[in-house]
């Protein structure tokens, strides 16, 4: 049994543990320590903002996360409530149970446009996973791909 809920400030530690576990797949740099401190600050702020999500196992432990932030650029340009999916991860032990899909669809249920950037070096098939959920490619660069989803697509 898995549950999805909004992240709370106390979830920052477990989210950071998962982020460190999946860092090489994303890829995201966790070294040097100054870079890790920036990521920890971003996670802490995202949990406090109340937009991010966590997936919980039957025991209530965090097994996955989706860091969600306001998409300031789109909100300014189109005056909407767009959100940006900044980082996602599921523990290796919990993969294959639909946690990522459940996390993303929970945010989609808000009905606002969503954006995401996936690094071309991503080894978790994130691009394919988001496309299967209905995200379309906006821009392809040598190092990353920008994606967007909206109900109107």
pLDDT digits (tens, 9 = 90+) for 135-153: 999 999 999 999 999 987 6
Residue bearing tokens 């989706």? 66
Instruction: Tell me the whole-structure pTM to 2 decimals.
Output: 0.92
Query: For position 151, what pLDDT does the model report?
Result: 87
**pLDDT of 58-110, one tens digit each?**
999 999 999 999 887 766 666 678 899 999 999 999 999 999 999 999 999 99
Token pair in block for residue 136: 């379309």
**CA separation for the pair 49, 147 (Å, rounded):** 23
How do residues 26-69 score in pLDDT, each as one tens digit?
988 888 888 889 999 999 999 999 999 999 999 999 999 999 99
In this predicted structure, what is the pLDDT of residue 34?
86
Position 32 scores a pLDDT of 87
Residue range 3-149, CATH number: 3.40.630.30
What is the reported pLDDT for 38? 93
Residue 69, pLDDT score? 93
For residue 153, the model assigns a pLDDT of 63
* Amino acid 51: pLDDT: 96
How many residues are there in the chain?
Answer: 153
For residue 153, give the 3-state DSSP assignment.
coil
Domain definitions of the chain by residue range: 3-149
Phi, psi dihedrals of residue 54, rounded to the nearest 5° = -130, 150
State the pLDDT at residue 33.
86
């Amino acid at each position: 049994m898995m549950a999805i809920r909004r992240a709370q400030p106390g979830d920052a530690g477990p989210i950071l543990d998962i982020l460190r576990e999946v860092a090489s797949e994303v890829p995201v740099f966790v070294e040097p320590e100054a870079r890790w401190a920036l990521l920890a600050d971003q996670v802490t702020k995202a949990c406090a903002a109340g937009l991010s999500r966590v997936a919980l196992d039957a025991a209530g432990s965090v097994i996955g996360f989706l860091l969600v932030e306001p998409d300031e650029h789109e909100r300014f340009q189109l005056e909407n409530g767009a959100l940006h999916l900044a980082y996602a991860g599921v523990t290796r032990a919990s993969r294959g149970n639909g946690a990522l899909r459940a996390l993303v669809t929970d945010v989609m249920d808000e009905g606002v446009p969503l954006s995401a950037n996936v690094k071309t070096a991503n080894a978790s098939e994130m691009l394919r996973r988001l496309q299967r959920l209905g995200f379309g490619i906006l821009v392809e660069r040598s190092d990353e791909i920008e994606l967007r989803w909206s109900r109107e697509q």
